[in-house]
Structure 1
Amino acid sequence: MSSKVPAAYQATQGSILDVDQAFYDRLTAAHGARRLEESHVVPLRDGLAWKVPAGHVFRVKVVEGSQVGDFNMWNLHNPRERMWASRTRQLQRAHISTYDRLWSTLPYLRPMATIIDDTLADYGVDDEGGRVHDLLGTRCDPYVNRLLTGEDFDFHCHSNLVRAVEPWGLTEFDVHDVLNIFQCTGLNDDDQYFMKACPARQGDYLEFFAEIDLLCAMSCCPGGDLSVDLWGPDARDPLETCHPLGVEIYALDETRLAGWRSPEPAPYRGHHGRRAPDTDWTEIKRQRCC
């Protein structure tokens, strides 16, 4: 049953939530050549981390069979600023696509990346209420697996991300709630989270524009395309449904970026009602994150 209740978070006209769609359209492959800078493969049931300079485009793509990817993102220079899935869910939507942005944690609260292209944009809502690219759920992890099955399994998405970021000086405490790329999910009649088989096929992709210098990481979910139950009475090992994912990073001609600049951290001065000296917390945040 559809609802006409308006979203709780409403922007004033001209706020940073107003996206210049024409600008982001000009950055896609359909509107001009880009230079391929790097290409990576995230192996099946494993993770990978990579950096993306501000003003570049990165694409996550299906290179073989259907596969879900669990995605994390940090400010390359300050990992305390990282993707905030729940605030993105409130400011954008629970399942995101073209022109939606991924927002960073407090006290920074700015767009880290903007989605500029999505081959699954027309998937919409299926007959069971499923949608793709979700922020509703989070990564599978060995802790919940132990609770549900009584067994240890070391290659959940959380573990894959932990291993992926360790060479970059990050730890398990830096891994955070994810964007589930290509994953089809929703809420059932009992308001419980469900997952469906991934609709993405070879050649499908989700493409982002980096608003700031980024460190990204992704796990090829050990659940593969999620067509096999991971827990419950019908659970079995879905290894045969697992495939690698591809990542491509593109540089753009500077003329296509005319008028763009990296967004500054949120301008709130950070006093929080304290009677404190006139410390310029905005400047401190800028120095620590840029």
Structure 2
Amino acid sequence: MTEEPESVMIPARKGRAVRLTTGEAIEIINTHGKQVVDTWVFSAEDPMEFLSNEHMRATLGKLWPAEGDALITNRRRSIMVLEKDTSPGKHDTLIAACDDYRYGLLGCTEYHDNCTDNLYVAMRRIGIKLSECPSPLNLWMNIPVADDGTTSWGEPLSKPGDSVILRAQMDCIVAMSACPQDILPINGAACQPTEAHYRILPPAR
């Protein structure tokens, strides 16, 4: 009997990073249903190659990936495949990761947890120092785009337990931040960030 892979928590407002080998997968779980998880993927061989939303949009010809789509790097290679998505599939590739400057513009006068710093801390924990924060794939972040090109801050359409499975196409590092946004309804109308979870899945047989 095969053991169920261990579920690991991404604490509310914090980040985690994990290494995957080619063929392994990560299941990222929206535990409570309304939590956005900013997600980055870096080549394990060279972190200067990473999941790039602008390159991915050009390759896919759409704003966000769906089941079966490849996640594309800044060197125009597939780094992962979105193998399964149990949510309505609305994710975001337009909005940059929040940072302390962003929260200053939102009226904060003291330091606020943010996804950019969560990325840096998570990567340092596994021995990698980054100098820049690439734009993340914002899982479950709902950014409606109107016909005139304007955007708005929607609430996630996901439900508790929804998940995505990303399958590694090369040895890579996946970093995740449970978005700390508590001013706009990015994490639901309650503006209350929560924890999320992930599991590492073995190569498909």
Q: 2:171 aligns with which of 213, 226, 234?
A: 213
Aligned with 1:160: secondary structure?
Answer: helix
> By how many angstroms is 1:177 displaced?
0.5
Q: Which residue of 1 aligns with 2:77?
A: 110
Give the AA of the match of 2:193: C
Distance 1:192 1:59 in 2: 32
Q: Which structure is higher in helix share? A: 1
Q: TM-score, normalised by structure 2?
A: 0.88
> By how many angstroms is 1:252 displaced?
2.9
> By how many angstroms is 1:85 displaced?
1.1
Q: Which residue of 1 aligns with 2:188?
A: 227
Determine if contact 1:36/1:248 at 8 Å carries over to the other structure: no
Q: Which residue of 1 aligns with 2:26?
A: 58
Change (3 A) 1:68 1:216: same
Provide Cα deviations, 1:13-57, integer angstroms capped at 9, x if missing partner: xxxxxxxxxxxxxxxxxxxx9765553210001111111111112
> By how many angstroms is 1:226 displaced?
3.0
Determine if contact 1:73/1:217 at 8 Å carries over to the other structure: yes
Note the residue ranges of structure 2 that are not aligned, 5 or more in a row.
none
Give the AA of the match of 1:158: T
Aligned with 1:209: secondary structure?
Answer: strand
1:245 equivalent in alignment to 2:196: yes
Aligned with 1:115: secondary structure?
Answer: strand
Q: Which has the larger radius of gyration?
A: 1
Q: TM-score, normalised by structure 1?
A: 0.63
Determine if contact 1:50/1:217 at 8 Å carries over to the other structure: yes
Change (3 A) 1:96 1:36: same
Q: 2:133 aligns with which of 161, 170, 175?
A: 175
Determine if contact 1:59/1:248 at 8 Å carries over to the other structure: yes
**Identity fraction in percent:** 23
Distance 1:210 1:186 in 2: 29
Q: Which residue of 2 aligns with 1:47?
A: 15
Distance 2:128 2:155 in 1: 32
Note the residue ranges of structure 1 that are not aligned, 5 or more in a row.
1-32, 124-130, 229-236, 257-290
1:163 equivalent in alignment to 2:131: no
Regions of 4+ moved over 4 Å: 33-38
Change (3 A) 1:192 1:151: farther
Distance 1:99 1:219 in 2: 24
Q: Which residue of 2 aligns with 1:87?
A: 55
Q: How many residues end up aligned between the 2 structures?
A: 201
> By how many angstroms is 1:87 displaced?
0.7
Determine if contact 2:103/2:112 at 8 Å carries over to the other structure: no
Determine if contact 2:35/2:188 at 8 Å carries over to the other structure: no
Note the 1:118-137 alignment, pairs <5 A.
118-120=85-87, 123=88, 132-137=90-95
Give the AA of the match of 2:97: R
RMSD: 2.3
Provide Cα deviations, 1:57-109, integer angstroms capped at 9, x if missing partner: 21101223421000011011211111111110111121211011111113xx2
Provide Cα deviations, 1:200-241, integer angstroms capped at 9, x if missing partner: 11111011110001111111011265334xxxxxxxx93xx2
Aligned with 1:187: secondary structure?
Answer: coil
Change (3 A) 1:34 1:183: farther
Determine if contact 1:35/1:252 at 8 Å carries over to the other structure: no
> By how many angstroms is 1:173 displaced?
1.7
Determine if contact 1:72/1:216 at 8 Å carries over to the other structure: yes
- Higher RCO (CA-CA < 8 Å; seq separation 6+): 2
Change (3 A) 1:34 1:193: farther
1:101 equivalent in alignment to 2:70: yes
